């Protein structure tokens, strides 16, 4: 916790410096402070904060209804990572160079900076938790705006007094856009970014991504600001007999549900297999608690795998298959219950009983 607090404090200080830097660029046309200061804060905001966030809250995680879920959709993560790193590259290329690029290349660089601004806003909306991420968003926004202003000033300084007659029509259009007022130029950059993003998406399509993967990276997630998959977690009960719970949700003619039961304050479908399995676990827990703890530890690992892929296990034909595959285990559990318990059917009947 102290480390997180220190990181958030550093991001907050960086945000204030980035604001001062943007004001200095807009009013005085120069960076705030000495190069060492603005380069250090620039690195924290543009490189350090995004990398820390991706590694701590997204990389390697999966969509999970019952634990910390992935920030970006795992299937579409490469697309959004590519965009983030392209925006970083465009920023540092602009920041470290001494003169502008040719008009078309300069326009594309500025489009990536505009895309970076939009991405920062979308990530802030998606995060929802201001304590964990929002302190870094203003720093990114202010530095990117400062760089867009600096690019325009650098371009105007270079082309002052030059004639455009020798340029081809494409370059003349690019220069006209880049010379325009910031309030006009930024919307134009966003419009031009659409075909640029389309080209990037077509390139990523060669590596298995979808054309709209950058959008799906936000929407195909759970319990976040732009998530569209929250409905997949509505009927997911965390904990309990994972495989048997899955099996009980198959076609009624196959899995034969007998009644509703209550677990963790939620109603669940109970069939004979689920009740027998839970009665067997209860018996083992009473008679052999040490053995039960070991079995439960391994069974929880199976449950974690089920939760990580619950949208696949929620299909009824999969539930039917799991039910049939669990039949031999059900018969074994029933045999043990009748061998070790004086009233096995009473034990079975009280499992997940709503009145208890």
The SS3 of residue 82 is helix
For the stretch 94-107, pLDDT in tens is: 988 888 888 888 88
Give the DSSP H or E segment for 2.
helix 2-28
Mean pLDDT of 211-225: 89
pTM of the predicted protein model: 0.67
Q: What spatial distance separates the first Cα and last Cα of the chain, rounded to whole Å? A: 40
Residues of the chain with pLDDT > 70, as a percent, come to: 81
Between 344 and 65, name the one with better pLDDT: 344
| pLDDT reported for residue 144 | 92
Query: Residue 62 burial by CB count (10 A; 0-12/13-18/19+): exposed, middle or buried?
Result: middle
Between 299 and 190, name the one with better pLDDT: 190
pLDDT higher than 60, residue 323: yes
pLDDT higher than 90, residue 131: no
DSSP E strands: which ranges in 190-294?
A: 257-263, 266-271
For the stretch 61-83, pLDDT in tens is: 878 776 678 899 988 999 999 99
Mean pLDDT of 192-216: 88
Dist. CA 324–CA 316, nearest whole Å: 12
Dist. CA 123–CA 279, nearest whole Å: 47
Dist. CA 158–CA 144, nearest whole Å: 21
| pLDDT reported for residue 240 | 47
Between 336 and 155, name the one with better pLDDT: 336
Dist. CA 186–CA 182, nearest whole Å: 6
């Amino acid at each position: 916790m102290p480390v997180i607090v220190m990181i958030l404090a550093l991001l907050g200080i960086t945000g204030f410096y980035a604001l001062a830097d943007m004001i200095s660029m807009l009013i005085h046309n120069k960076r705030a402070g000495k190069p060492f200061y603005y380069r250090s804060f620039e690195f924290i905001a543009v490189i350090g904060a995004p990398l820390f966030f991706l590694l701590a809250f997204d990389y390697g995680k999966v969509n999970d209804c019952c634990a910390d879920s992935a920030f970006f959709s795992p299937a579409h993560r490469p697309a959004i990572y590519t965009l983030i790193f392209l925006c970083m590259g465009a920023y540092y290329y602009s920041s470290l160079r001494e003169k502008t690029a040719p008009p078309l290349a300069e326009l594309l660089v500025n489009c990536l900076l505009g895309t970076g601004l939009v991405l920062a806003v979308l990530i802030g909306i998606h995060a929802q938790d201001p304590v964990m991420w929002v302190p870094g968003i203003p720093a990114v926004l202010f530095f990117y705006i400062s760089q867009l202003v600096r690019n325009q000033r650098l371009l105007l300084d270079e082309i002052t007094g030059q004639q455009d007659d020798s340029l081809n029509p494409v370059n003349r259009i690019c220069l006209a856009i880049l010379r325009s007022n910031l309030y006009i130029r930024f919307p134009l950059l966003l419009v031009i970014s659409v075909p640029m993003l389309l080209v990037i998406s077509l390139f990523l399509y060669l590596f298995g991504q979808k054309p709209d993967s950058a959008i799906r990276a936000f929407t195909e997630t759970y319990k976040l600001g732009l998530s569209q998959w929250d409905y997949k977690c509505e009927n997911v009960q965390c904990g309990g007999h994972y495989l048997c719970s899955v099996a009980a949700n198959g076609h009624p003619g196959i899995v034969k549900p007998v009644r509703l039961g209550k677990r963790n304050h939620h109603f669940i479908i109970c069939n004979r297999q689920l009740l027998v399995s839970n009665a067997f676990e209860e018996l083992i827990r009473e008679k052999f608690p040490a053995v039960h703890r070991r079995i439960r530890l391994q069974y929880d690992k199976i449950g974690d795998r089920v939760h990580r892929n619950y949208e696949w296990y929620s299909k009824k034909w999969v539930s039917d298959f799991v039910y049939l595959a669990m039949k031999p285990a059900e018969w074994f559990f029933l045999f043990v219950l009748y061998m070790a318990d004086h009233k096995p059917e009473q034990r079975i009947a009280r499992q997940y009983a709503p009145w208890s």
